[in-house]
Amino acid sequence: MSLVDFCRLIATFDVFVSTSTGPMHLAGALNIKTLSFFGASLFASSKRWATISDPEKQANFEVAQNYGQDFYQAVENKLITLCSKPSV
Distance CA(71)–CA(88), nearest Å, equals 28
Q: Count how many domains the chain has.
A: 1
Would you give per-residue pLDDT tens digits along the chain (88 residues)? 999 999 999 999 999 999 988 999 999 999 999 999 998 887 887 777 778 888 889 888 888 888 888 988 999 999 999 888 777 6
Number of CB atoms found within 10 A of residue 78's CB: 15
Distance CA(47)–CA(62), nearest Å, equals 10
> Tell me, what's the pLDDT at 42?
74
Residue 83, CA distances (Å) to 4, 14, 42, 62 in order: 25, 7, 29, 20
Q: What is the CATH number of the domain that holds 34?
A: 3.40.50.2000
> Tell me, what's the pLDDT at 88?
64
Distance CA(82)–CA(35), nearest Å, equals 8
> Tell me, what's the pLDDT at 49?
79
Domain encompassing residue 35: 3-84
Laid out side by side, the sheet with 58-63 consists of: 15-19, 33-39, 58-63
> Tell me, what's the pLDDT at 50?
79
